[in-house]
Chain A
Amino acid sequence: MSVLVAPLGIPLVTALLAAAAPRRAGVQHAIGVTGAALLFVAAVRLLLHVHGEGVVAVQMGDWPAPFGITLVADLLSAAMVAVSAAVGLAVAIYACAEPRETIERGSFVCFSHILMLGVCGAFLTGDLFNLYVWFEVMLLASFVLLVASGERSAVTSGVAYVALNLLASAFFLVAVGLLYSQLGSLNLADLRLRLDLPGAREAAGPAAAFLLVAFGIKAGLFPVFFWLPASYPTPAFAVSALFAGLLTKVGVYALLRMFTLLFPDPIGGPLVAVAVATMATGVLAAASQSHVRRILSFHIVSQIGYIVLGLALATSLGVASAIFYTLHHIVTKTNLFLVGGLIARAGGGESLARLGGISARGVGLSLLFAIPALSLAGIPPLSGFFAKLFLIRASLQAEAFVAAGAAVGVGLLTIFSMAKIWNEAFWKAAPEEAPDLRLGRAAVIACAGLCVLTVGIGIGAEVVWELANDAARQLDDPQEYLRAVLGDGS
């Protein structure tokens, strides 16, 4: 039982300690890195436990399942928690090299751990309304981080972010209300049983549509992704890396959960179209940008399209590919944002026109950028190659030839964007007044760690693919999930 509670208890206690401790950066970082490391250990323990012994569930307050709130971890949840904790640890280490005042003024350590609490809670809850609460915990923490850690412009872009996310929350709440009024339950496992009764799923169609729109906004799907590139490039690098890695992926997770457990009937064509449109607009918009984090932000949108394509195919292979893609994407994208911070520090800004000559001055930094960038573009043997390969294979198997073609084309354009950053920031002759190359050891360690993970997912692709496949099987046949939550009587 403690194996399931620890990933929530640790960030909660860490955030409280950080809030109560003195604001000095040294103390805060000691608390933050320790908490993040413990969370990582707890998350790995949870993953091993679920892998070995199957789905685990705990009933909060000892109230039996449909009445109380359930925490439940299947392989998908456990894997998401594990990879989130890994990037959380990397960001906590990286933050040690951020300017002191960013950390002290904004209470970075406290709110980043509240964010982690919200993320882990969303992955582990087995209750629809509780999922809403965790989303709000995560969003509130992210509002504070966004506004407090950045410059003045962060407040302006924060407004768009807050407005669209509150709109999404309202849609989510409407869906929760509709489902509860129709079916009288909010426990996900119980809802599944009630939706399986004849006629129930047809009647719940509007609720499913509201859920799709709500999580679509939160995941950053076409055409409602505009909040994302508006807000991610403004805050401190550690903050935007945390956002880039985790926030939209919680939306993706919720889509995966809702449309396998509650509404397993394929949505089909429209969702495939949305996924392809998301992939294409994201990558095209990225190609037109000339600011490091803006390029990377639009690429998040494009990658979300890939993941949702896997879900839209509605085959077991497609869902497994989507899970694999998500795990790869969280690591790679966080790393790219962190390395973006190093580039900005080395070159004195993020505008590609003013950067240059980094490859001549910092071979190590060039390597740190090259690994996640090539992985994102899908070059073997890095993680992104296998992620794209599995997804394209799944599309071909489902005879979605247009989507498969789009996935290949978007991959090529991704290479173009990454090459653009490379050419401008690394290869071009250095501008006259290039500042000294001082990166901060903690930041380099964090990026190098994530690079190792990226290469690891690539080399150990078979192991991760097995994991994604098992997770997809659990989603496909929820009997084990239902038994774990509701007991043997179901």
Chain B
Amino acid sequence: MSSVILRTAARYMMPLLLLFSVFLLWRGHHEPGGGFAGGLVAATAFVLVAFSEGPAAARRSLPISTWTLIPIGLGLSSVSALLPLLQGLPPLTGLWLPGDKLGTPLLFDAGVYATVLGVVASVLLALMEEETS
């Protein structure tokens, strides 16, 4: 599927979608949004590239493989879950930096973001590659 309109639009849409996904991740702690929704939106950005220029181009636009994102994301979330143990608090207790904005909940959400992006992009790109090959 090679359409000039889709390709041009995708080139402008992709950074916007990625920005929007980070915005969703950021506001997720107090308002609707969060890592899961953000990760899904980020995945659609790469799927859009895959639609307009093929799955290989989508893979090139990510600096690391989509599969690697999954253990990285799970690792971030696990770290944020286990970090409170060091202070003798139950796991998953929120720890905050001064200012009450940055803390382990955001780290947890960032992990969810990376995991969801990794899973959705891996599955969709694998399916599209199977179709084109």
Residues of A at the B interface (CB closer than 8 Å) are 1-2, 5, 9, 12-13, 16, 19-20, 58-62
In the A-B complex, the 4 residue pairs with the closest CB atoms: A19-B71, A61-B92, A62-B93, A20-B71
How near does chain B come to A115, taking the closest CB pair, in angstroms?
Answer: 15
Whether the Cβ atoms of B74 and A61 lie closer than 8 Å is no
List A contacts of B28 (CB < 8 A): none
Whether the Cβ atoms of A5 and B85 lie closer than 8 Å is yes
Q: Interface readout for B68-111 with A: 1 if CB under 8 Å, 0 if not?
A: 10111011001000101100111111100000000000000000
Q: What residues make up the interface of B, taking CB atoms closer than 8 Å to A? A: 68, 70-72, 74-75, 78, 82, 84-85, 88-94
Main secondary structure of the interface of A (DSSP, over half): helix
Q: Are A12 and B78 in touch, CB under 8 angstroms?
A: yes
Complex Cα distance, B84 from A59, in Å, reads 12
Contact A59/B75 with A2-B85, A5-B85 known, Cβ cut-off 8 Å: no
- Which partner residue on chain B sits nearest A18 by CB separation? B71
A-chain residues with CB within 8 Å of residue B74 when the two chains form the complex: 12, 16, 19
B71 in contact with A9 (CB, 8 Å): no
**Assembly CA distance A20 to B114 (angstroms):** 14
Interface centre among B70, B91, B93 (most CB of A within 10 A): B91
Give which listed residue, A1, A12, A13, contacts B88 with CB less than 8 A: A1
User: Which residues of the other chain, B, contact A19 by a CB distance below 8 angstroms?
Assistant: 70-71, 74
Give Cα distance in the complex from A62 to B85, angstroms.
Answer: 11
Residue in A2, A12, A16, A59 with the greatest tally of chain B CB atoms within 10 Å: A16
15 A-B Cβ contacts within 8 A? A1-B85, A1-B88, A5-B82, A5-B90, A9-B78, A9-B82, A12-B78, A16-B74, A16-B75, A20-B68, A20-B71, A20-B75, A58-B91, A60-B90, A61-B94
In the complex formed, the residue of A with least CB distance to B78 is A12
Residues of chain A lying within 8 A (CB to CB) of residue B89:
62
Q: Of all chain A residues, which has the CB nearest B75?
A: A16
Chain B residue nearest to A57 in the complex (CB): B90
Q: A1-B88, A2-B85, A9-B82 are in contact. Are A16 and B71 (CB under 8 A)?
A: yes
Does the CB pair B90–A62 fall under 8 Å?
yes
Complex Cα–Cα for A13 and B78 (A): 8
Of A5, A19, A61, most B-chain CB atoms within 10 Å:
A61
CB atoms of B91 and A5 under 8 A apart:
yes
Which residues of chain A come closer than 8 Å to B75, judged between CB atoms?
A: 16, 20
- Report the separation of the CA atoms of residues A83 and B94 in the bound assembly, to the nearest whole angstrom: 33
Known A9-B82, A13-B78; judge A60-B71 contact (CB<8 A).
no
Known contacts A1-B85, A58-B91; 18 further A-B pairs (Cβ under 8 A): A1-B90, A2-B85, A5-B82, A5-B91, A9-B78, A9-B82, A9-B91, A12-B74, A16-B71, A19-B70, A19-B71, A20-B68, A20-B72, A20-B75, A59-B90, A60-B90, A60-B92, A62-B89
Classify the interface of chain B: helix, strand, loop or mixed.
helix
Closest to A60 in B: B92
Complex-state Cα separation, A33 to B62, whole angstroms: 34
Contacts of A12 in B (CB 8 A): 74, 78
Closest chain A residue to B82, Cβ basis: A9
CA A13 – CA B91 in complex, angstroms?
Answer: 14
Cα–Cα distance between A252 and B75 once the two chains are bound (Å): 32
Bound-state CA distance A403–B68 (Å) is 54
Q: How far is the CA of A61 from the CA of B83 in the complex (A)?
A: 11
Bound Cα distance from A59 to B93, whole angstroms = 9
User: Which chain B residue shows the least CB distance to A8?
Assistant: B91
- State how many angstroms separate the Cβ of B116 from the closest Cβ of chain A: 15
Which residues from A are CB-within-8-Å of B71?
A: 16, 19-20
Question: Shortest CB–CB separation between residue A442 and chain B, in angstroms?
Answer: 26
Instruction: List chain B residues, Cβ under 8 A from A2.
Output: 85
Instruction: Give CA–CA (A78, B79) in the complex, Å.
Output: 25
- Nearest residue (CB) in B for A70 is B90
Contact B90 A16 (CB under 8 A): no
Closest-by-CB residue of A relative to B93 is A62
Asked whether A16 lies within 8 Å of B78 as measured between CB atoms, the reply is yes
B89 to nearest A CB, angstroms? 6
Residues of B contacting A61 in the complex (Cβ-Cβ under 8 angstroms): 90-94
**What's the least CB distance linking A136 to chain B, in Å?**
15
Complex CA distance for A16 and B74, rounded to whole angstroms:
7
Inter-chain CA distance A135–B75, complex, in Å, is 21
Complex contacts, B82 vs chain A, CB 8 Å: 5, 9
Q: Which residue of B lies closest to A20 (CB)?
A: B71
- Cα of A12 to Cα of B68 in the assembled complex, Å: 16
Q: Name which residue of chain B comes closest to A21, CB basis.
A: B71
The interface residues of chain B lying within 8 Å CB-to-CB of A60 are 90-92
Q: How far is the CB of A410 from chain B (nearest CB, A)?
A: 44
Closest to B89 in A: A62
Q: How far is the CA of A60 from the CA of B92 in the complex (A)?
A: 6
Complex CA gap A19/B89 in Å reads 28
Within the complex, what minimum Cβ distance (angstroms) separates B84 from chain A?
8
Chain B residues within an 8 Å CB radius of A16: 71, 74-75, 78
Bound CA–CA A420/B74 (angstroms): 48
A2 to B83, CA, bound (A): 12
CA distance A238 to B82 in the complex (A): 30
The residue among A58, A59, A62 with the most chain B CB atoms within 10 A of its own CB is A62
Please give me the residue from chain A that is nearest to B73 by CB atom.
A16
Give min CB distance, A420 to chain B, whole Å: 45
Q: State the Cβ distance, A404 to closest chain B Cβ, in Å.
A: 46
Q: Which chain A positions have C-beta within 8 A of B94?
A: 61
Taking the closest CB of chain B, its distance from the CB of A356, in whole angstroms, is 45
In the complex, what residue of chain B is closest to A1 when comparing beta carbons?
Answer: B90
* Interchain nearest-CB distance for B100 vs A (Å): 16
B95 → chain A, closest Cβ, in Å? 11
- Residues in B neighbouring A5, C-beta threshold 8 A: 82, 85, 90-91
Q: A62 — which chain B residues lie within 8 A by C-beta?
A: 84, 89-90, 93
